[in-house]
Amino acid sequence: MRPDWNHIIEHDWTLMLDRDGVINRQIVGGYVTRWEEFEFLPGVFEAFQKFAQRFKYIFVVTNQQGVDKGLMTIEDLDAIHDRMCSEIECHGGRIDGLFVCTQLASAPDNYRKPDPRMAFTAQRLHPDLDLAKCVMVGDKDTDVDFGHNAGTHTIFLGPENPNADDSFGSLYEFSQLL
């Protein structure tokens, strides 16, 4: 049975979002390395408008190993994120923070999702953030595992995922229940 998100989520809740495949089109087998490759998914702006009214904090939590692979610089990634945030703000939404891991998956002791350290960093920077009142939205099992490891609720974008608290076809579809 689907949780009643509209009644569960209150204004002191936090939303954490993966980036690729959630906010923008995923480049299968590749990386968004420059703004011209970044393509917002349908309904994302409308979803962010709703989220801005409903959530206390909205964070993007993303693995971006393309930096450590040498496919782009951290400055390239920052420019993409600055433009993404600006476009979302221009359409009535907001992102309150970005938490990015550029480490390679093969790096020892890396903090890539599903490791929960990016969530704990967000909580350290925002001491009023209650991870039990947080929803992590992603399109990969590692996003769901990250949410579980951090103690958040989880939403999977894609076919029903039995490990997630709920599944939706898109970020827009989830936003329509709020």
- pLDDT of 8: 95
Q: What is the mean pLDDT of the chain?
A: 97
Query: What Å distances lie between residue 110 and 14, 98, 102, 116, 117, CA to CA?
Result: 24, 18, 9, 11, 10
User: Does position 7 have pLDDT exceeding 90, yes or no?
Assistant: yes
User: Does position 1 have pLDDT exceeding 90, yes or no?
Assistant: no
Entry pTM: 0.97
Taking residues 48-73, what's their average pLDDT?
97
The CATH architecture annotation of domain 5-175 reads 3-Layer(aba) Sandwich (3.40)
Say if residue 98 is exposed, middle or buried (CB neighbours under 10 Å; 0-12, 13-18, 19+): buried
- 18 given a catalytic annotation: yes
Residues 6+ apart with CB under 8 A from 151: 116, 131, 132, 134
- In tens, the pLDDT along 62-116 reads 999 999 999 999 999 999 999 999 999 999 999 999 999 999 999 999 999 999 9
- pLDDT of 45: 98
φ and ψ at residue 166, rounded to 5 degrees? -160, 165
- 20 given a catalytic annotation: yes
Active site residue: 4, 18, 139, 165, which one?
A: 18
**Segments making up each domain of the chain, as ranges:** 5-175
Residues 6+ apart with CB under 8 A from 4: none
Query: What Å distances lie between residue 12 and 47, 148, 150, CA to CA?
Result: 18, 20, 17
User: Does position 135 have pLDDT exceeding 90, yes or no?
Assistant: yes
Give the pair of three-digit tokens for residue 16: 């954490």
Active site residue: 4, 20, 130, 143, which one?
A: 20
Beta bridge partners of 100: 62
